[in-house]
Amino acid sequence: MPHIGSPNARILIVDDVEANVRLLERILRQAGYEQLETVTDPRRVLSRYAEWHPDLLLLDLMMPHVDGFAVMDALRPLVPPGQPFPILVLTSDATPEAKRRALASGASDFVMKPFDVVEVLLRIKNLLENRELHAKLQRQNGILEDKVRERTRDLEHAHLETLERLALAAEYRDDLTDQHARRVGQLAARLASALGLSPQVCDLIHRAALLHDVGKIGIPDRVLLKRAPLTAEEWEIVKAHTTIGAKILSDGATPLIQMAEAIAHTHHEQWDGKGYPRGLAGDAIPIAGRIVAVADAFDAITNARPYRAALDITAAIEEIRRHSGTAFDPAIVAMLPPLVDAAGVATADFARSR
């Protein structure tokens, strides 16, 4: 008899008549199938399925204790979703009702006893090939999903790297250490976490805060790097970095860019409404803008710039506290002291901080 199936396929034969089981077993072995299990007591099918994980079930319908319909009903919850388990019903019940009921219960195919050997082997071969094709398709889908995830990660990394370089370009205008934006992002994320914001929001704030001063790209060096006090006209030019930054980041399609736009636009608004550019007050200022305002101010006075020198950390915290309820959200100021470590500080007028 020719071999017409995979020798590695696991086939479970269930029939209460020993002679039928032995006949099927002999036919299948002659056809080349090597992994066969037989069950003559249908009450053992579930445990054997769970232990052996067959690829195909050859099932009689009319059996004592538990008939084939009940076996199929009991097996259904055990079959993993999306992994079809072929069942070939072999029965002497020739009624149309038996066939309809078997197919409705989950049978993949239906053959009458006595059966033609070649026909049964061909049906077994087709069922096993369909199962293997489905398994291959699942594996291929898994590979494609992994590639999509990898590509998505690559795009996200490229996106974040571009944003970081844009932030770096702005920082080099007046911070040759290129660390100000990073420090502000880290402290802003810690403040957000201390306020109870979700990890996802904290991460967005961490990344978006890098771009809080991106609008400085549009501020002339003669103003931005001026060591002497600014004139009123020059101060208006500096304040424009908030609207310039918001314009650069406007109409973003991702939550990250949208938050970066809000931060760039509002991180110089003040709790009492005396900030810029729009004079927002209290909760009208987005929470991310209020958080970055504190983180930005703290870092500004703890790191020297061309136009100002350094304070110690204790003085910096006290200066922030002095502006709690006026420049800054008091709830955010209260979170600051436990989160900051010893670092250099610099004097600054918060009302006219660059």
Rounded Cα–Cα distance for residues 340 and 42 (Å)? 70
Angle between helices 199-208 and 180-194 (to 10 degrees): 160
pTM assigned to the model: 0.59
According to CATH, where is 1.10.3210.10 located in the chain?
A: 172-352
| Structural domain 172-352, CATH architecture | Orthogonal Bundle (1.10)
Read off the pLDDT of residues 144-166 as tens digits, 9 standing for 90 and up.
Answer: 888 888 887 877 777 777 777 77
Tell me which of 30-34, 245-249, 301-305 is least confident.
301-305
Comma-separated ranges of CATH 3.40.50.2300 domains in the chain: 10-142
| Banded pLDDT at 338 (limits 50, 70, 90) | confident
Query: What is the average pLDDT across 7-15?
Result: 91
Smallest CA-to-CA distance from 313 within 282, 334, 339, 332 is with: 339
The predicted structure's pLDDT at residue 8: 84
3-class state of residue 304 by DSSP: coil
What pLDDT was estimated at residue 174?
64
- C-alpha–C-alpha distance, residues 171 and 216, integer Å: 8
Longest dimension (CA), the chain: 105
Please tell me the CATH code under which domain 10-142 is placed.
3.40.50.2300
